[in-house]
Amino acid sequence: MYAGGQARDAKDVESAVRAYGAAPGGTAMMKSEQKAAEEAMASGIYVTWQSPDERECCRIQSNSSCLCGHALKSHDAPKGGGARLRPPGCSKCGCSRFRYAPTRPEECGQWWLPRRKDFDVKAWRARVRKNPQDYACLNCDQKVSDHEAVFETERARRDAGRPVREAFAPLASTPELQALVLGDEQEDDLEALAASGAISAAAYHRRVASAAALAAPGGAPYAATTVGVAPPPRGRGAYVRRR
Ligand SMILES: [Zn+2]
Ligand SMILES: [Zn+2]
Ligand SMILES: [Zn+2]
C-alpha cells in the first residue's frame, strides 16, 4: 500500500463488479489497467493518472487517450531523469504533454449512461476532452482536469515505496477477485480445476456463484431502478451498492 491507497483498491472493485455485473465498462476498465501493468513491466516505465493529492487513480497504457484526442502511443517517448519523467508531447498535433482523458462514463461514475439507448460514446469522449473540468474522477471525485499523468521509472517507484512489477497489477492483493474480473476462466475451467483438486469444493461453489451473479441478465442491482429519475451519483458514490 502507498499513500492514498492502491489504484482502484479491491473493495471498490469488488463493489463495482457487483454493481456493474457483466456490464462492459467495469471489465473494460480493469482490462485496460491490466494491459498498463503488463506494459510497465515490459518497458520499466510506469504511467499512472494521479489526483492533486497524489492518489493513483488509474494505470495508463499505450492505447489510453490524451485530452488532445490521440493515444499515448502517438506521443513521443517520455524524457528526462530523476524521479519523474517529462510527460511526452504528441506527434500528431500541437499537444505539448500527455494528459489522460477518461474514455468510459464509468470512469467518471456515470454508470447509467451506457444503458441509455441513444448513448453515443464518441460524443461523450469529445465532451470530456473539451470540458475536463466538468467531469469528476470515479476514484477520488476530483476534477478530471486537476489530474496529472505521471511517468516514472521502476527504480523511482521502488525508491518511493510504490508498487512495481506484479504488485502493480490491478487487484494484485486479491488473486481470486483478479481472476474473476480479468481471467478468462469459464465454468468448464472451474470444473477442471475442481476435478484436479487445484481448488477446493468450497472455492469452486463460490466461484460458480460469482460467475452466475455476473452473468445474470442486467447484471446489476441497478438494472431495475429509476434510471434518469434519481440524481446521478458521482465519484465514489457510484460504487455504493444499493439493494
Ligand atoms: Zn496529447
Ligand atoms: Zn495529439
Ligand atoms: Zn482521481
Rounded distance, CA 185 to CA 228, Å? 35
Long-range contacts (CB closer than 8 Å, 24 or more residues apart) made by 69-73: 69/93, 69/101, 69/129, 70/95, 72/47, 72/98
Task: Give me ligand 1 centre to Cα 83, in Å.
Answer: 22
Separation of 93 CA from ligand 2 center, angstroms?
4
pLDDT (0 to 100) of residue 201: 72
Is residue 150 within 8 A of residue 156, CB to CB? The reply is no
Highest mean pLDDT among 39-43, 186-190, 238-242: 39-43
Burial profile 57-72: b = 16 or more Cβ within 10 angstroms, e = fewer: bbbbbeebbbbbbbbb
CB 24 within 8 A of CB 114: yes
Nearest ligand, CA 65: 1
Claim: this prediction has a pTM higher than 0.75: no
Q: Residue 185's pLDDT band (boundaries 50, 70, 90)?
A: very low
Is residue 95's pLDDT more than 90?
A: yes
**What's the gap in Å between 96 CA and the centre of ligand 1?**
7
Q: How many whole angstroms separate alpha carbon 12 and alpha carbon 201?
A: 27
28 Cβ contact list (under 8 Å, min separation 6): 104
Rg (CA), the chain: 19
Closest ligand to residue 67's CA:
1
Residue 241 Cα to ligand 2 midpoint, Å, equals: 38
